[in-house]
Amino acid sequence: MLLRQFKGTGPGTIFLIIVTLLAVWASAFIKLQSHFSLYFDLDPMPLYGILSYLIGTNPLPGIIFTLALVSLMAFLMVNLNTTIFFINERTFLPALIYILLSGLFPQYQLLNPAIFAAVFLTLAIRRIMDAYRIPGTAYSFFDAGILIGVGSLFYANLIWFGLVVIIGVALLRTGSIKEIAISVIGLITPYFLTFGIYYVLGKDLKNLLSILEYNLLGNANGYAFTRLTVVAVTFAGLSTLVSIVYLLKLMNMKKIKSRKTFSLLLWVFLIAMEVYFMVPSVSVEMVWLAGIPVSYFWAHYFVFIKKKLVPEIFFSLFFVFILLIQILYLK
């Protein structure tokens, strides 16, 4: 069946994932919606504003660039598991699932800051886990803080995920005050540099503050959920809940590093959900960030669940939902 075809690790599986990526993103190239249609384009964060200016108003280059970033995310997610090996099996499923989740909201399949934030968050998670059993002070927490800070200069609400670095210190280092301090310093360093550059160039610092306020506290565009999207999101939510429950049942059987990695990913997911429901400037673009832990939870479930029919049905239905959303979006 469908899931079985994607559970391999050979060239054939890679080819199927590439075909899926192109199928999921075909509607973005066919419809070519306007780049300046979402709230974060009106008063963008500094780094995202620079990039948007360089790419211009033509939507095609932005979509191509975003597709390249999704491909990079697919690589980073597979590489993260290969490096830490917390799923305990070599699999391309996290990449495939993330690609499918990227097609859940077609209106966001264009240049947007959240996909940049996803790249930086993935790299930050890797640097946090690099601190596992490192003797002395683990300066990788400083690196992780900088990555989150730089990413938030693309997408302001990534700053809330700075908590992930602090949680990482608590999980891996029993709450070292020094490492918490260097994490916070790393997090705010990009902002010190940004304010310094604005000051040197004679830019209005009040304008920078207003940009930060708008992107953190402004009201995001309301997303018009179709019936099919509601069904797909509900199905994805239930599948995520099932995969998390299954993960928790097996958690004590895993190696210590695997347990801590999954614990960190659970915190990433919880923070993503909290930010989505509590912060007014956040909309469905949060799927780019929440999709990171969700992809790993699903992949773990699909790899280890003994009842093969249930995951086949889950995966096949979600695959069909995404394709239908893409097809209906073109009408």
Give the residue numbers spanning the domain of 62.
2-329
pLDDT score recorded for residue 37: 63
| Res 38: pLDDT | 75
pLDDT of residue 34: 60
Is residue 105 within 8 Å of 223, Cβ to Cβ?
yes
Convert 260-287 to b/e letters by CB count within 10 Å (16 or more is b).
bbbbbbbbbbebbeebbeebebbbbbbb
- The pLDDT value recorded for residue 2 is 85
Q: Is 60 exposed, middle or buried (0-12, 13-18, 19+ CB in 10 A)?
A: middle
What is the pLDDT tens value at each position of the chain, 331 positions in all? 788 889 888 899 999 999 999 999 999 999 887 655 677 888 899 999 999 999 988 889 999 999 999 999 999 999 999 999 999 899 999 999 999 999 999 989 989 999 999 999 999 999 999 999 888 888 999 999 999 999 999 999 999 999 999 999 999 987 679 999 999 999 999 999 999 999 999 988 999 999 999 999 988 877 889 999 999 999 999 999 999 999 999 999 999 999 999 999 999 999 999 999 999 999 999 999 999 999 999 999 999 998 888 899 999 999 999 999 999 998 7
**Confidence (pLDDT) at 35:** 53
Distance CA 10, CA 200 (A): 53
pLDDT of residue 16: 95
175: phi > 0 → left, psi -120 to 50 → alpha, else beta; which? Answer: left
Tokens of 228: 């099919």
Predicted local distance difference test score (pLDDT) of residue 127? 97
**Whether the Cβ atoms of residue 141 and residue 264 lie closer than 8 Å to each other:** no
- Total domains in the chain come to 1
Q: Which of 297, 292, 294 is nearest to 123 (CA)?
A: 292
What is the pTM (predicted TM-score) of this model? 0.95
